[in-house]
Structures are given as structure tokens and as C-alpha cells.
Chain A
Amino acid sequence: MMSELKALYQEIILDHNKSPRNFRAMEDADRSVEGYNPLCGDHYMVYVKMDGDVVKDISFTGAGCAISKASASVMSSLVKGKTKAEAEKLFDQFHHLVMGEVSGENQAEELGKLAAFSGVSEFPARVKCAILAWHTMKSALEAKAEPVSTE
């Protein structure tokens, strides 16, 4: 169990939790979507500014556990500057990873920072924490207005 715990709380995750990137409200956002898991209380707002098909800027605010916050932070760093299609591909990769559908190690190169979340799949109760910001981002890119929940 200890090794699984270490795999869950990797350095990258602890670092992004402590110093989240792009952690700010965006006054001139094109879209903002709320992500909220009422049972556990993880609650974020994801802001995006588009330049045509490209995510020109992305940021988030809110509070939640280390997994959800680090996930939101890493998501924002990876998605910034990507096209909508590229962001959606990252979403799919991340989703497969935390659901344990691919091995993080085998594809570590391609996954980059995402690989830090490979330990989440061993903790089914925490998958919803990891994917909340990603679903919220996807919803923002699809210009949906409804709040997102992953519970």
C-alpha cells in the first residue's frame, strides 16, 4: 500500500498542489465553466480565451484535494497554446490513464507530465477528483454552459 501511495502523491502532484499554475480568475475569458463534485466538495472554475481554434489562455480558480488541484494545474499548463483537437486528444489520453486503460510507463514519453497521474487508477475513489478539471475544460471548449460534475 505504501508504494501505491507514493505513486499517487508523486512530486509533480505535490508541487502543482502547492504552487498551482495558471491559478487566477480571467476577467476577459471567452468562456468560463464551473466544475463541482457536491459529494466531496471539489469546486473549480475553468476560464478559457480562444484565438480561433487555439486555446490562447486558460486559467482556473477554486479549491479541492491535492489530486484535483494538481490535475487542474497540469491540465492548464498542457492545454495552453493547443488547438481544440489537440486538447481533446490530451483529454482522452488522461482519461485512459486514470482509468487504468493504458500503462503510464510504456507511454511515458508521449504522456509527459500526465504520467504523474498514473497512480490514480489504483484509487478508484479518487478518479473523479483527477478528471474534474479536464471535464470542465472540455465542456468549456465545447462552449457548454452547464456546470460539470464527475461524481
Chain B
Amino acid sequence: MNVTAEITAPAVTSKFDVARIRKDFPILHRQVHGKPLVYLDNAATSQKPKAVIDAIERYYKEQNSNVHRGVHFLSGFATEAYEETRKKITRYINAASEREIIFVKGTTEGVNLVAQSFGKKYIGKGDEVVITVLEHHSNIVPWQMLCEERGATLRVAPINDDGEVIVDEYAKLLSAKTKIVAFAHVSNALGTVNPVKEMIALAHELGIPALIDGAQAMPHMRVDLRDLDCDFYTFSSHKMFGPTGVGVLYGKEKLLNAMPPYQGGGDMIRSVTFEKTTYNDLPYKFEAGTPNIADVVGFGAAVDYLNNLDFHAVEAYERELLAYATEVLTRNKRIRVIGTSKHKAGVISFIVDGVHAHDVGTIVDSEGIAVRTGHHCAMPVMQRFNVPATARASFAFYNTKEEADALVRGILRVIEVFG
């Protein structure tokens, strides 16, 4: 193995300075069980740069107030900070208007909002919703609940042995009965990057709107929603270096306008009497109650942080890191990678032959290495590959080749214990 040579040689193909980036993330410098933390659970949640942590602290120390309500100084200030994030996100994902950016708790709420609101209006008995085998439970269960309630049918596009959606089979499922398609941009369990633009275009040929679960795509790539031309796109702040508890549902204005409100309460109304309530304009129609203001402000700081990165360099670095990690892991013949698409982002799901994923997780944890083990909230994917669980190493741009090597050493310990 020429691992050492590869580590000491500078990464000439990448301009990305990972050592400098790591300084921005305080938690990466702590130890776990007396060893340096090797955080490879980024698909579950990413770590936060100091800029985000500071923005939240500053908000509570100096800016805290409720939004859209008071005439006093702080209320105006908080409202401005909250709305500033909406503007930043509009630009970041190239949405047409701030009215298309709805703040939600996270991706899960984004999907539920569309299932409940769009579903209530447009999906009835005999209609169909099309998803794929790759979906996270949060892009399965809300549709299942809706279909059950409405007497509609959930159709599921299959995947091949590499963990890629079989686009021809997906296309065959689309018909006049299909009222919406919903699928992940990037699979959380396998890392597969779906050909979303093509899949959206196929749905649009039949006039079917498309919802994309972008939770796992946003941390790894710049996404241009007007280029994708999707109808809904939803993602979580906490997976893209921002705080937990906030996310975005993007929807085309025409669709959002036609949809009924999701929850009733303050902020989403224009006027209320006991006879009749009229609803507020977009995006407030879908933001009932006091929102998660502090974390929206923190989310804005995360977007600023991402805007300061050269994403071409980030993507090149991540590709190189993923290829390297896959290479060093699969040199060990006891390791089998599940999900071998050519187009992957950030994730290596694997099995150590003869050892259950949880035992792998516990043993590598004793070396300070954090990986996720289990079904990754994607039980149908596990069933497809006939495995009860996998270990999943998921990477962010602050991870290093040395950390991939540490994982390989951790797995050697697993094999040592289990023989």
C-alpha cells in the first residue's frame, strides 16, 4: 500500500486549503475517547463554523425580538435580520423571488407541507404519486399518509444494483393519473446523485409538478433552481453548516399561490373575524406563528460562509476525497461498498463482511471516529440490497484523506476484534 506516499504528496489537483477551512470549525479540534475527533457523520448533520455560532450568540445578546409585529427598534432589527436570510437564500439558489422561499423546520416539514397543502387541493381518489426506492423515510411517509387519506396510489420507481434510479422505469410510471413526483437530489443512504434535471423534464412533459428533496445535495454543490426548473425544492440548514430547526421550502410562486395554507395562526393572516379570515401573501401565508428567528439568522451566516467558498474548488476537493476514501476502503476485501454509482456525493455506505454495522460503529467510535450505522431512515434501500443495516461514512469539505485513513485503521481494529 502506498497510502503514506499519497498522504504526504500535496494535492496538486485541488486549490482547496482544507487546513485553513478546518480552523473555522471549533468542534473539529476536540477529542473523543482521548483521540482526535474524526467526524464522518455529515449526512446526519454537519458541523458549524464559528461565524454561524457567533451569529446566533450575537442575535440573542443584541438583537432578540419578535418579527413582523412591533414598531419598536429591536422588532424592526430582528425582522430585517430574518428577512435578510430570505434574500440571501433567494440569491443562493437562484429563485425568482423572495416570495418563493418559505421557512420551515427542515426538509421533513417541507415535504409534509406540500403533501398536505398541494395534496389537499390536487390529489384525490385514483390519482398517483411517484417516488423512488432511494427515498429517505421523510419523502415516503408523508406521501403514504396522503395517499391513504385520499384513496390515491403511491408508485415507486426502482433502482439498479449500483443504487441508481432506472430512469426508463421511472418514465413508464408517469401518466395522466400522476399528480406529483417527489425524489431526492442526492440519496442520503448511498450518496447517489440522481439525474434530477432529466427526471424533472420527463414529469413536465406530462404537466406533472416535481418536488426535489435537496437535503443531501445542498452541502456538496451549488444548486440553480431556475436551471433545474423544479416546482418544489426543500432542504435543511443543519446539513449545510447552519443551525438545526430551520429549513426552506422553495415553491414556484404560481403553485404556492394556488395552494391552501398549511397551518393556521399568527403572521399567516391578513384579517381575522369569526366569520371569515383572509390569508396573508406569500411567503407569510405558509409561516404561521413565531418562526425560529435566531436559527434563521444563523442560517444566513451559513449561507454567507458558503458564498465565500469557491465551490468549483470545493466540488473538486470532495470528488477527490470521496474517490480516495473509496479506494483505500475497498483495498480491504472484507469491505463491500453499497451504492456504486459513478455520480455520488459525500457518502460511502459499506458492510464489513461478517460483522454487523453496529459493532463496526461501536469499535470505530472507540478510535474517535463518528460514523452512522443502521438503516439511515431508508429501510426500502436496505431491503433492496438485502442488508439489515450498513455503516455510513459521510464526508464534508472539511474532512481529509488522513481521516479516511483513520477510518481504514478503525476497521482493521474491527476485524482484529471479530477475527
Which of A's residues lie within 8 Å of B, judged by CB? Answer: 1-2, 4-5, 8-9, 14, 39-43, 63-67, 69, 123, 125-126, 129
With A41-B388, A125-B362 given, is the CB distance from A9 to B417 under 8 Å?
yes
Q: Is B276 interfacial (CB-CB < 8 Å)?
A: no
Whether a CB of chain A sits under 8 angstroms from the CB of B206 is no
Q: Is the CB of B388 within 8 A of A64?
A: yes
Q: Do A67 and B388 touch across chains, with their CB atoms under 8 A apart?
A: no
Say whether B366 contacts A65, CB under 8 Å. Answer: no
Closest B-chain residue to A43, C-beta based?
Answer: B388
Contact of A65 among B359, B382, B417 (CB under 8 A): B359
In the complex, which residues of chain B have a beta carbon less than 8 angstroms from the beta carbon of A67? 358-359
Q: Are A8 and B419 in contact (CB under 8 A)?
A: no
Q: Are B419 and A14 in contact (CB under 8 A)?
A: yes
Provide a sorted-by-A list of 23 A–B residue pairs whose CB atoms are within 8 angstroms. Answer: A1-B33, A1-B35, A2-B366, A5-B363, A5-B366, A5-B417, A9-B417, A9-B418, A14-B419, A40-B358, A40-B374, A41-B374, A41-B388, A41-B389, A43-B388, A65-B357, A65-B359, A67-B358, A67-B359, A123-B362, A125-B362, A126-B358, A129-B358
| Chain A residues whose CB sits within 8 angstroms of the CB of B220 once the complex forms | none
Q: Are B356 and A64 in contact (CB under 8 A)?
A: yes
Complex Cα–Cα for A112 and B373 (A): 32
Q: Are B366 and A1 in contact (CB under 8 A)?
A: yes
Q: Which residues of A contact B373 (CB under 8 A)?
A: 40
CB distance from B361 to the nearest CB of A (A): 9
Residues of A within 8 Å of B375, CB to CB, are 41
Give the Cβ gap from B32 to chain A, nearest Cβ, in Å.
Answer: 9
CB pair A126–B388 under 8 Å, yes or no, is: no
A63 pairs with B388, CB closer than 8 A: yes
Most A CB atoms within 10 A — which of B33, B373, B388?
A: B388
Q: Which residues of A contact B33 (CB under 8 A)?
A: 1
Complex Cα distance A85/B375, Å?
37
Question: Cα distance A5–B388 when bound, in Å?
Answer: 23
B366 cross-chain contacts in A, Cβ below 8 A = 1-2, 4-5
Instruction: Please indicate the chain B residues that have their CB under 8 angstroms from the CB of A2 in the complex.
Output: 366
Q: B393-418, CB under 8 A of A: which get 1 and which 0?
A: 00000000000000000000000011
Q: What chain A residues lie within 8 Å of B10 (beta carbons)?
A: none
Binary CB contact string for chain B from 241 to 274 against chain A (1 if under 8 A, 0 otherwise):
0000000000000000000000000000000000
Q: How far is the CB of A60 from chain B (nearest CB, A)?
A: 15
Interface positions of B from 331 to 381, Cβ below 8 Å from A: 355-359, 362-363, 366-367, 373-375
A14 cross-chain contacts in B, Cβ below 8 A: 417-419
Question: What residue in chain B is nearest A40 (Cβ atoms)?
Answer: B374
Q: Do residues A65 and B358 form an inter-chain contact, with CB atoms below 8 A? A: yes
B389 close to A40 (CB less than 8 A): yes
**Counting chain A CB atoms within 10 Å of each CB, which of B34, B357, B358, B363 scores highest?**
B358
Cα(A64)–Cα(B417), bound, Å: 17
- Residue ID in chain B nearest A123 by CB atoms: B362
4 new A-B contacts at CB < 8 Å, known A63-B356, A129-B358: A9-B417, A39-B374, A65-B357, A65-B359
Alpha-carbon gap, A99 to B227, bound state (A):
55
Query: Which one of A2, A43, A66 has the highest number of Cβ atoms from chain B below 10 Å of its Cβ?
Result: A66
Residue of B nearest to A6 (CB): B417
A39 to chain B, nearest CB (A): 7
Tell me how far the C-beta of B336 lies from the nearest C-beta in chain A, rounded to whole angstroms. Answer: 17
How far does the Cβ of B141 sit from chain A's closest Cβ, in whole Å?
Answer: 13
B388 lies within 8 A of A1 (CB): no
Closest CB of chain B to A125's CB: distance in Å? 7
- Also in contact, A126 and B356, with CB within 8 A (given A41-B374, A41-B388): no
Question: Which B residue sits closest to A64, measured CB to CB?
Answer: B356
Q: Smallest CB–CB gap between B140 and chain A, Å?
A: 14
Contacts of A66 in B (CB 8 A): 355-356, 359, 418
Assembled-state Cα–Cα distance A64/B359 (Å): 10
A57 to B153, CA, bound (A): 45
Alpha-carbon distance between A65 and B375 when the two chains are bound, in angstroms:
13
- Of all chain B residues, the one with the shortest Cβ separation from A5 is B366
Most B Cβ at <10 Å: residue of A4, A9, A40, A42: A40
Chain B residues with Cβ below 8 Å from A69 are 356
Cα–Cα distance between A1 and B33 once the two chains are bound (Å): 7
A40 to B389, CA, bound (A): 8
B362:A126 contact, CB within 8 angstroms: yes
The docked-state distance in angstroms from the alpha carbon of A1 to that of B34 is 8
Chain A contacts of B356 at CB under 8 A?
A: 63-66, 69
Report which residue of B34, B373, B389 has the largest number of chain A beta carbons within 10 angstroms of its beta carbon.
Answer: B389
The 10 closest A-B pairs by CB, nearest first: A65-B358, A65-B356, A1-B33, A1-B366, A41-B389, A41-B388, A66-B359, A5-B366, A9-B417, A65-B359
